Amino acid sequence: MSVLVLGETDTNSLVTAEEVETLARTHGLTIPTPELQDWAVLLTGLNHCAKEVLTIPDYYPPVDLELYPRTNIHRPSGEEETDCGGWATKVTIKCTKPRSNELSGKTFAIKDAIAVAGVKCGNGIGGKVGDWVPNVDATLVTRILDAGGVILGKSACEAGCLVAVSDTSITGNVHNPYAYGYSTGGSSSGSARLVSTGQVDMAIGADQGGSLRKPSANCGVVGIKPTCKC
């Protein structure tokens, strides 16, 4: 590994051989004494670069609100408007100049853990940890809109996307479409319910440990989890 730095090294970024030795020791590593100074020089350059990068403002790709307008953003209330807990937030988003008609007219719900610019994202937990308003659209949101799909809102999801039942979301219980008071499964609970009840044609979930497969099985719909080649 090589680290190149233009100009003089910032003295505040200097790393000493003693600091390298201490750092290595605390992580169970042993560095030969003759090599400590070499590592100090290397880490000094890396430290300098890291500090420079951290001063650069974060870049967020702007969302073209004329191309992807969003209207009627609101938190639904009452079991009828939420579809017995399926909806977390409602909004209408449709591309004014889609690139294709592959999803023309098809309606979608987006799991409330996925970024949709200007729409509060609760991640099932709300509060300071989960209640944030993204200023970007997730790539899959843009792709749906570019293909002519229509987004009707954010579907409820379970607390932190970590729960396999449907009574932990900050937005309230998500009831099974076939048996009120019973679980839809989680964590993509709202997504499965909204498809099952016909609120939308399709819904986006997320699945690392069954978060899409369990709700789809509980609600009698098909949940597709793409394979990943590493």
Please give the positions annotated as active site: 111, 187, 211
Pairwise CA distance, residues 117 & 108, whole Å: 16
Supply φ then ψ for residue 68, to 5 degrees. -125, 65
- Strands 70-74 and 87-94, bridge-based pairing: antiparallel
Pairwise CA distance, residues 94 & 218, whole Å: 30
The residue with tokens 């497969």 is 213
Pairwise CA distance, residues 42 & 44, whole Å: 5
Which residue intervals of 56-151 are DSSP H helices?
78-82, 127-130, 139-146
